Amino acid sequence: MNRFLWPLAIFVLLLVLLAAGLKLVDQRELPSPLVGKPAPAFRLARLEDPEKSFSPQEMQGQVWLLNVWASWCVSCNREHAKLLLFVGKVPVVGLNYKEVRGDAGIEVSRLSSEAERQLASERAVKWLRENGNPYVASVLDLDGRVGIDYGVYGVPETFIIDRQGIIRFKQVGPLTPETIEQKILPLLSELQGSQK
């Protein structure tokens, strides 16, 4: 009987240690390998006018935020009012991430790429009209390739990018008042004050 209890006790102990370790890890605090490195380049169609495109190079010389969002994202909806506070203070660019593909209710395989683009654009524009548009530009990342380049594994995510195009901060999950006050505003103030 004793020889069965020892392995069981060790197994239970390992489970307890694993659970405790997982509780200690705050995924919003996971360091990104991109922080301190140049923001990945991309060129995507603008949400408001698909005939025009946007590239991060257009923001060179400015401190700006890149916010990854989607209309189907519940956390993005919660975060949105906080993004509106940045209007006029710092440019915010929206990366609309998998607008149609992320919505489990839509079978993308039945849509042509043009129909997917049209549907994504309509849904995202409607959502911004209803909730307010904090973005100086918003682009469609239909298949998530740009998101992959930025290491996005969920929405929302927000990046602070400096005047030289270097990623200085990454927030995984919705912005909170604490994160804005303790991390984002001080870093923005520091970066906007420096004329490197």
pLDDT at 9: 75
pLDDT at 89: 93
% of residues, the chain, pLDDT over 90: 66
Of 13, 126, 118, nearest to 70 by C-alpha is 126
Helices assigned H by DSSP within 132-165: 145-149
Q: Is residue 46 part of a domain?
A: yes
Q: Is residue 168 part of a domain?
A: yes
Q: Is residue 49 part of a domain?
A: yes
Residue 105: HSE in the Cβ half-sphere, 13 Å Cα cutoff: 2
Q: State the residue range of the domain holding 41.
A: 29-193
Q: Is residue 149 part of a domain?
A: yes
Q: Is residue 53 part of a domain?
A: yes
Q: CA 189, CA 115: separation in Å to the nearest integer?
A: 42
Query: In whole angstroms, how large is the CA radius of gyration of the chain?
Result: 20
Q: Is residue 9 part of a domain?
A: no
Which residue's entry shows tokens 């239909």?
142
Tens of pLDDT, residue by residue over 34-81, are 999 999 999 999 998 889 999 999 999 999 999 999 999 999 999 999
Q: Is the pLDDT of residue 131 over 90?
A: yes
% of residues, the chain, pLDDT over 70: 86
Q: Is residue 141 part of a domain?
A: yes
The CATH code of the domain that includes 54 is 3.40.30.10
Q: CA 113, CA 50: separation in Å to the nearest integer?
A: 13
